[in-house]
Amino acid sequence: MKFLLHFPLLKGNNIRSKQTLSSKVTILVFSTLVVFMLTTISSSLFSYHSLLKINEYNKEVSIEFDDSLKNETEIMPSTTSVKKCDIFSGEWVPNPEAPYYTNTTCWEIHEHQNCMKFGRPDSEFMKWRWKPNECELPIFNPFQFLEIMRGKSMAFVGDSIGRNHMQSMICLLSRAEWPVDVSYTDEFSFKRWQYSNYNFTMATFWSPYLVRAEQVDSKGGLINVYLDEFDEKWTAQIKEFDYVIINGGQWFLRPMVFYENQKIVGCQYCSWENVTHLTWHNGYKKAFRTSYKAIMSVGKPKGVTILRTYAPSHFENGVWDKGGNCVRTKPFKSNETRLEGYNLELHTIQLEEFKRAEKEATKKGLKFMLLDTTQAMLQRPDGHPNKYGHWPQKNVTISNDCVHWCLPGPIDTWADFLLQTLKVEGVRSTPEKKDFI
Ligand SMILES: *[C@@H]1O[C@H](CO)[C@@H](O)[C@H](O)[C@H]1NC(C)=O
Ligand SMILES: *[C@@H]1O[C@H](CO)[C@@H](O)[C@H](O)[C@H]1NC(C)=O
Ligand SMILES: *[C@@H]1O[C@H](CO)[C@@H](O)[C@H](O)[C@H]1NC(C)=O
Ligand SMILES: *[C@@H]1O[C@H](CO)[C@@H](O)[C@H](O)[C@H]1NC(C)=O
Ligand SMILES: *[C@@H]1O[C@H](CO)[C@@H](O)[C@H](O)[C@H]1NC(C)=O
Ligand SMILES: *[C@@H]1O[C@H](CO)[C@@H](O)[C@H](O)[C@H]1NC(C)=O
């Protein structure tokens, strides 16, 4: 089927991003910090999301809906075919079929991830799939996914990598259906999309610290993080969502002041002498603890919580604000790299807190699922925009982006992980295969 579509003129697309990058670029320097950049152009937590430019939507594009996958009706593998297999350990293998969309078929690729537009010369990075060591990981089938999600809703809570993930999902799902923008605000960090044919809703909630956070002053980098307080920007709405995919990481490596019980308990990379200096580890742990508590207490009674683990950045030849870059064009083999340093620590804490919360959730009859994407992404130093997230700017140094992921690109594999996890968990939890959740 071929359709000629007018992209809807979406509200709040690029009105707020008129300011040029250069006028907003302020690079923070923290001597003790090795790598903590979440975005190449961010100096401020609360103005960050308004900086990104979004593709022009009002274009005519010929979109081909792909029916060929529709007849693969088996939504769930049969109980017997679900072997125990760790899908998160494996290797990247060539996939000549990929990518499954391009920047001309999908309008939800934001400028900073539209690497091909800004002249990235190589394209091999789009042509890999993940091969678990002990089984196969099927390529995402948008029809199966939407069938499983019929009448349900999914929220992405966390930082801009979570948003990057949802954009990848929209592009992959576009083979089956385009969503309608049903956002309740113009802020593009709080988007809501509706798939009418399936009555499925997807939403992002931007909450890089997962708990309530507040900028101390507009210029400095210090952020107050209230480790035991819910971030109502998402917790107030989370009861509507059947699935909550939570993520977080890089922002905890920044200068911050930790609060508990409304009192300062310490700070990281601050110059205050009257306050205990703490590292992020404790804060990170507590932020996840508080988030799980929020989901379990104010979330949907039978909702499913999914942790999408930390995705490592890949700066080489320098730190992020000292010319560090990511110029590789091929994935690593699993034996060519190792999870270590703060990447390992972030991941370990995530798993510990996940398991801890899962135990409690199980008692309450709630379901937790793990998308342990860290190792797979560690093996993808080639998947970042690097300098191809914008045009080169004269006289302005913009740090390379080795944090976010090009679209199309390796982040599309998260959809493969997600669908497979939903299928396998669905079989495990429902032996008669009737009610999916
Ligand atoms: C599904 O359709 C495609 C093409 O439309 C065909 O090649 C394939 O064999 C079909 N698969 C099944 C399971 O019927
Ligand atoms: C898509 O990428 C091509 C390069 O492959 C570029 O020339 C074009 O401007 C991009 N289009 C959009 C809409 O981003
Ligand atoms: C759509 O799904 C919501 C739950 O997400 C449900 O309340 C509503 O009744 C459904 N609407 C239709 C038309 O099925
Ligand atoms: C620590 O000192 C700073 C000024 O240097 C002050 O603003 C802050 O309130 C003090 N904090 C505490 C907990 O005493
Ligand atoms: C890594 O494993 C591959 C086989 O998968 C092997 O060919 C290669 O030599 C190994 N490399 C290192 C550095 O051990
Ligand atoms: C860039 O810097 C050079 C020398 O510092 C100056 O002559 C030139 O006008 C600047 N260009 C722009 C576009 O600001």
Q: What is the DSSP letter of 210?
A: S
Q: Whose CA is nearest to atom 13 of ligand 1?
A: 72
pLDDT tens, per residue, the chain with 437 residues: 333 222 222 222 232 333 333 333 222 323 223 233 343 333 333 333 322 333 333 233 334 556 667 766 555 555 555 567 999 999 999 999 999 999 999 999 998 999 999 999 999 999 999 999 999 999 999 999 999 999 999 999 999 999 999 999 999 999 999 999 999 988 888 999 999 999 999 999 999 999 999 987 766 678 999 999 999 999 999 999 999 999 999 899 989 999 999 999 999 988 888 999 999 999 999 999 999 999 999 999 999 999 999 999 999 998 888 889 999 999 999 999 999 999 999 999 999 999 999 999 999 999 999 999 999 999 999 999 999 988 887 777 788 999 999 999 999 999 999 999 999 887 665 544 444 43
Q: Is the CATH code 3.30.70.920 the one for domain 2-429?
A: no
Q: Ligand 5 in contact with 333 (CB < 6 A)?
A: yes
Residue 6: active-site member: no
Instruction: Give the number of other Cβ atoms within 10 Å of residue 287's Cβ.
Output: 29
Q: Is the CB of 277 under 6 A from ligand 5?
A: no
Distance between CA 313 and CA 38 in Å, rounded? 9
| Global confidence as pTM | 0.82
Test site for ligand 1: of 69, 70, 71, 72, most ligand atoms within 8 A of the Cβ: 71
Domain range annotation of the chain: 2-429
Please, which residues have CB within 8 angstroms of residue 128's CB and are 6 or more apart in sequence?
92, 93, 94, 95, 98, 331, 410
* CA–CA dist 350, 258 (Å, integer): 19
Catalytic pick among 160, 168, 207, 291: 160
∠ at Cα 116 (111, 122), nearest 5°? 145
Give just the sign of the alpha carbon dihedral 74, 428, 196, 156.
negative
Give the distance from CA 23 to its chain's centroid.
Answer: 27
Residue 160 designated active-site: yes
Cα–ligand 3 centroid distance for 199 (angstroms): 6
What lies within 8 Å, CB to CB, of 313 at 6+ separation is 35, 37, 250, 320, 384, 402, 403
Cβ atoms < 10 Å from Cβ of 219: 10
